[in-house]
Amino acid sequence: MFECLALLSLATLAQPLSASAAPLVQSETPASQTLWIRSDRIIVRPGEEISGAVLIQDGRIVAVGPGLPAPEGARTLEGAVVCAGYLDAWSTVGVEGATVADRKLNPASRVVDAVDTYSFDKEREDLLRAGVTTARVQGGAQGNIGGTGAVVRNDPNAGHGDIAILSEACVTATIGVTVGNQTPDVFDRIDSVDKLMRLIEGGRAYRDRLTDYDEKLAEWEKEIAEKVKELEKDFKKAKKKRDSDLAKAEEDGKTFKEKKYKEDKKPKAPRLDANKEAMAKVEAGELPLVVEVHRVPEIRELLAKSATFGRLRLILAGATESSSLASELAQRNIPVIVWPTPMGNTRPNEYRRHDLELAGKLHGAGVKVLFGSGGSGNAGDLSALAALAVGHGMDRTAALDALTLGPARSFDLGDRIGSVEPGKEADLLVLTGDPLDVATRASFVVLNGVVVVEP
């Protein structure tokens, strides 16, 4: 009964933020255009609001505040609310189907190389109208490893070379997910955790070998430089002695043998391995590791085994049964990407015990919550799903953060997008009302400083 009511609520009330009648502006708007956006409510970042204006030049926010004058020649936009565009933290938009389903991807497989910039214009346009300006994309949803994920702009006008905001945003993995009708048993799921840990350990050992090689090479180069300096200093003396030895050998009728300089053997470089290099970045905390995992046994095992890697930045995706482990997730600052959609009887096996209160429960325990579409077709419903999570116990400020600044920070983009602050790239929404109000629509969508949706 609860699921049926939730489905009815989502269908009848939580309409996605959209501007369905608004045309998508084609590429004639110059990126260098100056925009001046006036609003009585500018959400600078979740929990911080002002009244005033936002000034945008050359694709970036250059000023925000009250009393900010409009420069001569600037295009003026107005709306009830201005906020940062939404970032779908778990998406496959634009990624070719074969890569999404590939079960044999490696850690170094770059998902950005499989992003099709020609065939998904309609999907990207719909996402823009729904306020979703960027997405973290991944592949290999049915395999153990999903490759190196990327963050891309949902820009139908972008070419392959400039659609990615961040080409290397994370490495992704999957543990215990149903493939077809086959759900791995608990032993296979635990074994998958062990295999993932071995990959991380292999990355650490690879980085250690590279570090050891660099140290030995530096030492060898130092010794060679010192020897060269010594030889140069003693060159005249050595030459005089050589000439004397040569003359004596000729006088004695003997063969003169040159003394050969024996150089210390140069250290041998380790064999380069792109997959181990990717996992080395994960082990060192240079790239986060996003793991889709759902059931208690493998979540508990993952937390226990990963604790030995002090620099690892772990992010869970799905985490259906994670509420009982929320305190440890909060203590270790492990974010969870929640897909708060009531899927009814059609949900995969790993979501059977998923409930709509998960986001609220995790947030209440101090866990950083992010929202994602789960790689499904629900990306356009992200704001509605966030509102649904608020209806089931999540704080409104935290829900907006889970759509904007939270995922931006989690994927190392917090200094570029996710809030309305000077210096950041201008991916902004001009709305008719509160971002989490089901009646709100987008009057304008600004993508990298360009108006792409308007009335």
Q: Is residue 369 located within the same domain as residue 221? A: no
* Candidate from 175-189, 277-291, 344-358 with smallest mean pLDDT: 344-358
314 within a domain of the structure (yes/no)? yes
Q: Is residue 108 located within the same domain as residue 223? A: no
Label the pairing between strands 369-371 and 336-338: parallel
12 within a domain of the structure (yes/no)? no
Q: Is residue 283 located within the same domain as residue 388? A: yes
Q: Which domain holds residue 232?
A: 211-251
Q: Is residue 293 located within the same domain as residue 385? A: yes
Q: Which backbone phi and psi does 416 adopt, to 5 degrees? A: -120, -40
* Average pLDDT rounded to a whole number, residues 253-265: 60
Q: Model confidence over 3-50: pLDDT tens digits?
A: 443 433 444 333 434 343 445 554 444 445 899 999 999 999 999 999
Distance CA 185, CA 113 (A): 34
Q: Is residue 331 located within the same domain as residue 223? A: no
- Indicate the pLDDT class of residue 323, thresholds 50, 70 and 90: very high
Residue 74: closest CA among 33, 30, 135, 31: 33
Burial class (CB in 10 A: 0-12, 13-18, 19+), 194: exposed
421 within a domain of the structure (yes/no)? no
| Between 372 and 342, residue with greater pLDDT | 372
Q: Is residue 233 located within the same domain as residue 150? A: no
Max CA separation in the chain (angstroms)? 112
Burial class (CB in 10 A: 0-12, 13-18, 19+), 28: exposed
DSSP 283-327: HTTSS-EEEEE-SHHHHHHHHHHHTT-TT--EEEEE-TT-GGGHH
| Between 88 and 245, residue with greater pLDDT | 88
| Between 311 and 1, residue with greater pLDDT | 311
pTM: 0.84
Where residue 417 falls (left for φ over 0; alpha for ψ -120 to 50; beta otherwise) is beta
DSSP 155-189: -TT--TTTSEEEEEEEEEEE-S--BTTB---HHHH
53 within a domain of the structure (yes/no)? no
111 within a domain of the structure (yes/no)? yes
For 364, the token pair is 């209440």
Question: Do 30 and 73 contact (CB within 8 A), yes or no?
Answer: no
Amino acid at residue number 343: M
Q: Which of 251, 281, 314 is the last residue of a domain?
A: 251
358 within a domain of the structure (yes/no)? yes
Q: Is residue 330 located within the same domain as residue 342? A: yes
CATH number of the domain bearing residue 350: 3.20.20.140
* Average pLDDT rounded to a whole number, residues 311-319: 96
Split into its structural domains, the chain has a count of: 2
Q: Is residue 318 located within the same domain as residue 385? A: yes
Burial class (CB in 10 A: 0-12, 13-18, 19+), 4: exposed
